[in-house]
């Protein structure tokens, strides 16, 4: 999605993430939704870069993105419901929850975090294509807030049980212009990244800005120019 050198087709992306082990699982189904995004982004960028905008194609892309948003919402609700069934706060603080309950909670928390991440990616693309951007901005703001909450209660599962937050917190940062949420996502991302050694190619804020621009699907200066033609 963020590397132009990867030029897989929509079918190839789907085949890449499809296997017999998790075909029916929530994670597997979310992956197949996500697999449709790179091709959509590539086609959208092609339309945006054109000197003459094909508004028929743009409208088709908007409908396709809307369909992905509609598809991801049920999984967001399911993973949240499963997590709520496993509320550790209902147990005694002094004795602590049993290992089995902790393992279940860790798994369900990760599933919810993953659903939030996929939802942000899908809604971010839809927001970049849609005239009614405010509707998407409100949803993206909520999703980013939820990822911050997940980060706040995932510390007990470090490092392997929380490694997905590297991607989730990056998504939260690009989801909203809210300064507080962006600052929180950077703070938690810097914290969780310390669990994994390795070179850091650029300052974190630079990486976040680059990622954010990738999902705009177009140059910032042209952000509103294209849509002015609709009005």
Mean pLDDT value across residues 48-58: 83
pLDDT (0 to 100) of residue 222: 46
Nearest to 67 by CA among 123, 12, 27: 123
Residue 211 and residue 203 in contact, taking contact as beta carbons nearer than 8 Å: no
* Residue 229: pLDDT band with limits 50, 70, 90: very low
* Residue 148: pLDDT band with limits 50, 70, 90: very high
CA distance 210 to 141: 19
Residue of 223 and 116 predicted with greater confidence: 116
Residue of 94 and 114 predicted with greater confidence: 114
pLDDT (0 to 100) of residue 197: 74
pLDDT at 184 exceeding the cut of 90: yes
* Residue 76: pLDDT band with limits 50, 70, 90: very high
Domain ranges in the chain are 69-228
CA trace torsion 49, 135, 116, 10 (10° rounding) = -30
What pTM does this model have? 0.85
pLDDT (0 to 100) of residue 36: 92
Query: Of the ranges 38-47, 190-199, 213-222, which is most confident?
Result: 38-47
* Residue 37: pLDDT band with limits 50, 70, 90: very high
pLDDT at 27 exceeding the cut of 60: yes
Cα(first)–Cα(last) distance of the chain, in Å? Answer: 30
Q: What percentage of residues in the chain have a pLDDT greater than 90?
A: 43
Q: Which residues contact 159 (CB under 8 A, 6 or more apart)?
A: 195, 196
């Amino acid at each position: 999605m963020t590397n132009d050198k990867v030029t897989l087709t929509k079918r190839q992306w789907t085949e890449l993430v499809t296997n017999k082990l998790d075909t029916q699982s929530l994670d597997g189904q979310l992956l197949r939704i996500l697999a449709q995004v790179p091709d959509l982004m590539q086609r959208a960028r092609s339309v945006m870069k054109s000197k003459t905008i094909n508004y028929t194609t743009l409208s088709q892309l908007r409908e396709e993105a809307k369909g992905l948003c509609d598809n991801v919402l049920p999984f967001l609700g399911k993973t949240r419901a499963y997590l709520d069934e496993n509320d550790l706060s209902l147990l005694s603080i002094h004795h602590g929850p049993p290992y089995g309950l902790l393992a279940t909670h860790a798994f369900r928390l990760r599933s919810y975090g993953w659903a939030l991440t996929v939802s942000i990616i899908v809604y971010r693309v839809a927001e970049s294509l849609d005239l009614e951007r405010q509707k998407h901005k409100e949803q993206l703001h909520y999703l980013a807030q939820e990822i911050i909450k997940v980060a706040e209660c995932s510390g007990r599962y470090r490092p392997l049980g929380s490694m997905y937050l590297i991607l989730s917190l990056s998504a939260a940062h690009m989801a909203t212009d809210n300064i507080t949420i962006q600052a929180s996502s950077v703070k938690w991302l810097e914290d969780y990244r310390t669990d994994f050694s390795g070179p850091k190619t650029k300052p974190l804020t630079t990486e976040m800005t680059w990622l954010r621009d990738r999902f705009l699907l177009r140059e910032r200066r042209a952000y509103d120019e294209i849509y002015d033609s609709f009005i």
